[in-house]
Structure 1
């Protein structure tokens, strides 16, 4: 066994039966002879705080939850040598889909213990109030407003449907302001998604060229005010045709500065508002991948 101890950081209300799955995972680990300590979150920020307190060598942290839980653990473990594995059980668990981690608890635990540990690059976003690391993406404009509009009670009980309903409501009332997006040149758009990973909203490939092991982002811009055209672009994402659609732009970058008045989300959770700066942070996290 290459790990002397495993810390299982879990969100007991993620998805539906998360607490049962976390307990099952704990039992699987113990049956394999692994020393395990389970840390259950009660409120936002707990997972990050738990991760920051973990020290030592030959230690593995398994983040059990959805993308919000993963983001917190990432912010707690970044720049340490302690690897992170994921156990999917959240509303979407996009990171698990990116890594091809199965929902089956036994198989996911097996990958966590036996998988390859690789250095990955993270995103860092800053606005006037705060800064934070992200692992998947930063969304500015439409999708961030949809996240902002999600009813917390509906999210708890209706899971992914709550996001879909919020997206429909947001689209019907869509009235964006123009964004200025700068790296080596200035681009104009009404919505943007800066991707560190290829998957988005599930298994949809918003940035098919993005990879956690590449030291760059791939940005997708929507350059239309039209609700109808935006709806077409969203359907284009579903069918993998969005990159070639009119009033869109897709490019590689390591840094972006975004000005304008828009909401921002990172890894599916609300972050705040623009203006914001986004940069790649190289070799920032040890992450467990399935053996190829």
Structure 2
């Protein structure tokens, strides 16, 4: 056992019987003779506050929940030596898809304990009001509006369906304002997804070249106001043909600025509105990968 203690930070209402799974993980760890402390969140921000108080490379933090829980733990542990592992049990758990962590609790716990700790790069986004780190992506425009439109009560009970319904409503009412993207050259678009990881919305790969281990972002732009054309681009993402479609752009960068009037989401949670600045933060987090990854 390379850790003297495991701290399990869990969101008991993440979905899919989360509390039962968290307790199961706790029992698996205890049965292995491991000292474990379980901290359950009660409100937004709890996971980050729990993680901020843990600054020890000999303690393993396991985040049990969905991408929102992971994001909070990332923001709490960033720039420390404390390693982070995950147990997938949220609405989508895109990070679990990215890391190839199975839903099976026994296997996920085994990966957390035996996996390889690697330093990964994060994104940092800021607007006029706040800043925050993200590990997966920042979405500006269409999917920012879709996340903004998710009803909190419906999300609590209907989970992923709430996002799908909001996405459909957003598409029906789609009337975006133009965004300006300042990179090495100025670009114009109506939606942008800035990816630190390749997976998006589950197993879809909106930026197939992106990786947590690579020191850059891959950015996908939609340059159409047409609902029909956007629908085709969404279909293109599903079948993996979106990058070569008309009125799109795809490029690599380490920093950019986006102006305009649009909603923003990061790691599946609402962030705020543009203008925003996004930059790469190198070697910011110790993350546990499966031994085969």
Which TM-score bucket, shorter chain as reference?
A: over 0.9
Partner residue, 1:247? 247
Question: 1:16 deviation in Å?
Answer: 2.5
- 3-state SS of paired residue (1:225): coil
Unaligned 5+ runs, structure 1: none
Q: How far, CA to CA, are the matches of 2:55 and 2:279 in structure 1?
A: 27
Give the TM-score of the pair, scaled to structure 1.
Answer: 0.99
Return the offset for 1:79.
0.3
- 3-state SS of 2:287 partner: strand
The 5 A counterparts of 1:1-292 are: 1-292=1-292
CA-to-partner distance for each residue in 1:105-139, whole Å, 9 max, x for gaps? 00000000000000000000010000000000000
- Runs (4+) of structure 1 moved beyond 4 Å? none
Worse-matched range after superposition: 49-58 or 132-141:
49-58
Secondary structure at 1:22's aligned position in 2?
A: helix
- Following the alignment from structure 1 to structure 2, what is the Cα–Cα distance between the partners of residues 10 and 129? 28
Deviation of 1:55 after TM superposition, in Å, equals 2.6
**Cα offset, 1:15, TM superposition:** 1.3
Instruction: Supply the distance in 2 between the matched residues of 1:243 and 1:256 (Cα, whole angstroms).
Output: 20
Equivalent-residue separation in structure 2 for 1:68 and 1:262 (angstroms): 21
User: Which secondary structure state, in structure 2, belongs to the residue aligned with residue 229 of structure 1?
Assistant: helix
State the number of aligned residues: 292
Paired with 1:191 and 1:125, the residues of 2 have a C-alpha distance of 16
Deviation per CA, 1:161-189, whole angstroms, max 9, x where unpaired? 11000000000000000000001110000
User: For 2:25, what is the secondary structure of its paired residue?
Assistant: helix
Where does the alignment leave 5 or more consecutive residues of structure 2 unmatched? Answer: none
